[in-house]
């Protein structure tokens, strides 16, 4: 991604990023995504188009950056008191969020990213938090959970006519827990 590393967290750079991200989110609520342009975003954010091009490179990278910011979790995954319950709560929420129109668009935007491993690291962090709660149960590995829960969910959302059902998701959780 074109975002420069080592920038101080805050200050003008952070204000520009937040302003541009807000402009993108607002414009995507009001317009078809195919009609949103860098000049529209710049005008809404109060910056010049060159600021956006300098920082993000192009519109697809900016949309991916906004999608990535939305994907970062606000809190720890739900703690239901059981590994199965935690995985079900996490997987159902992930399915619900990602199969929505904004979720599908977000996944498509993220496909344009130069560093797609970042999405895996976000999912890994969430699943690791769940797995770490139950060390005495010999929980499945995070990679196993990503392969059996996240991967089919994303594939069906992006490449099928219908997302997984909750029942199919629960069956995948049972399979993941059987090992």
**Which tens digits make up the pLDDT trace of 39-86?**
999 999 999 999 999 988 888 888 888 887 777 777 788 999 999 999
| pLDDT for 41 | 94
Say whether pLDDT at 103 is over 70: yes
Say whether pLDDT at 115 is over 70: no
Domain-wise residue ranges, the chain: 11-70, 74-177
Q: Which of 63, 61, 39, 60 is nearest to 51 (CA)?
A: 39
Note if the pTM is more than 0.75.
no
Rounded Cα–Cα distance for residues 71 and 107 (Å): 9
> What is the separation of C-alpha 136 from the centre of its chain, rounded to a whole number of angstroms?
30
Rounded Cα–Cα distance for residues 11 and 51 (Å): 15
Length in residues, the chain = 179
Tokens of 140: 């499945």
Fold annotation for 11-70:
Arc Repressor Mutant, subunit A (1.10.10)
Region 12-29: what's the mean pLDDT? 88
Q: What is the pLDDT of residues 118-129, one digit of tens each?
A: 778 888 999 999
Q: Which of 27, 21, 26 is nearest to 52 (CA)?
A: 21
Tokens 């699943």 correspond to: 127
Dihedral sign (CA 154, 160, 163, 167): negative
Say whether pLDDT at 95 is over 70: yes
| pLDDT for 175 | 95
Q: How does the average pLDDT of the chain come out, rounded?
A: 86
Which is higher by pLDDT, 151 or 113? Answer: 151
Across 55-59, 103-107, 148-152, 157-161, which has the greatest mean pLDDT?
A: 148-152
Rounded Cα–Cα distance for residues 90 and 124 (Å): 12
Q: Which of 104, 122, 89 is nearest to 159 (CA)?
A: 104
């Amino acid at each position: 991604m074109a975002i420069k590393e080592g920038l101080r967290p805050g200050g003008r750079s952070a204000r520009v990023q937040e302003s541009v991200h807000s402009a993108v989110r607002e414009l995507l609520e009001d317009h078809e995504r195919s009609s949103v342009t860098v000049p529209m975003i710049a005008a809404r954010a109060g910056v010049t188009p060159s600021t956006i091009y300098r920082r993000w490179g192009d519109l697809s990278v900016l949309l991916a950056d906004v999608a990535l910011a939305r994907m970062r979790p606000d809190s720890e995954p739900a703690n239901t008191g059981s590994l199965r319950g935690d995985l079900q709560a996490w997987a159902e929420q992930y399915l619900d969020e990602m199969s929505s129109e904004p979720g599908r668009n977000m996944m498509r935007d993220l496909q344009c990213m130069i560093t797609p491993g970042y999405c895996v690291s976000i999912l890994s962090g969430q699943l690791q938090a769940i797995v770490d709660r139950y060390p005495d149960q010999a929980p499945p590995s995070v990679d196993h959970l990503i392969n059996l829960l996240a991967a089919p969910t994303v594939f069906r959302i992006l490449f099928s006519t219908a997302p997984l059902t909750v029942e199919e998701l629960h069956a995948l959780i049972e399979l993941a827990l059987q090992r």
